[in-house]
Copies of this chain bind each other. A is one copy, B any other.
Amino acid sequence: MNEPEKPKRGRPKTLDVDKTLDVAMQAYWREDPLSVSLNAICAMADVSKPALYREFGSEDALMRAVLDRYAESVLSGTFDVLAKGAPLAETLEAMIAYAADDPQMEPGCLFYKMRAARHRLGELTRSRVDEIDAAAVTAYEAYLETQRQSGHWRSDQPIDVVARYLVEQIGLALTQRAAGMDSGQIRASLELALSAVQRT
């Protein structure tokens, strides 16, 4: 979908959409998304501001596009872990390793950073954030459901509460990584938090 629709005539486009999105994603990811200005992105991506506006339309739309790319290239891997349907203990350990120790997540998670700044975002980006958040909870719910039915998870906790709990605890850990907290402390905290899910 979203074919380039290359025009038959006119001056050929020199703007590299992929490169621009990558540069913007790295910038948003490493710092607070909202403290990265369009001017800064233009300079880093070596793109003129009008060119950027021609391609995306607004800052909000650019951020949404970046978030989409991030969801597809980074977040999707996390969802796959849940979809595999491995036993609870194994899956939780995978989440812990991912959030606390994965070098890729050293600057934190772009999604959670944007979610934390939710009320300062534009409409487009904000609604995407909400969609991804809801999708994450749903994915956890589906996973927990399979674990409960297969007898791997014995707990009378309501599934929606635990799913939301997991999303928030992972988010907390990733936020702590962005803040530069010691990796050992993050892992210890996360293990403590997730231990409450396994036991009754």
Whether the Cβ atoms of A179 and B118 lie closer than 8 Å is yes
Interface-facing stretch out of A18-26, A83-91, A191-199 = A191-199
Alpha-carbon distance between A189 and B175 when the two chains are bound, in angstroms: 18
Copies, count = 2
The size class of the interface chain A forms with chain B is 20 to 34
Q: Is the CB of A120 within 8 A of B185?
A: no
| Nearest residue, chain B, Cβ from A32 | B120
Q: List 28 A-B contacts (CB under 8 A).
A: A32-B117, A32-B119, A32-B120, A35-B120, A116-B116, A116-B175, A118-B179, A157-B192, A158-B188, A161-B185, A161-B188, A161-B189, A161-B192, A162-B192, A164-B185, A164-B189, A165-B188, A165-B193, A168-B172, A168-B189, A172-B172, A192-B196, A192-B197, A193-B193, A193-B196, A195-B196, A196-B196, A199-B199
Residues of A within 8 A of B (CB): 32, 35, 116-120, 157-158, 161-162, 164-165, 168-169, 172, 175-176, 179, 185, 188-189, 192-193, 195-197, 199
20 further A-B contacts with Cβ under 8 Å, apart from A168-B176, A168-B189, are A32-B117, A32-B119, A32-B120, A35-B120, A116-B116, A157-B192, A158-B188, A161-B185, A161-B188, A161-B192, A164-B189, A165-B188, A165-B193, A169-B193, A172-B172, A192-B196, A192-B197, A193-B193, A195-B196, A199-B199
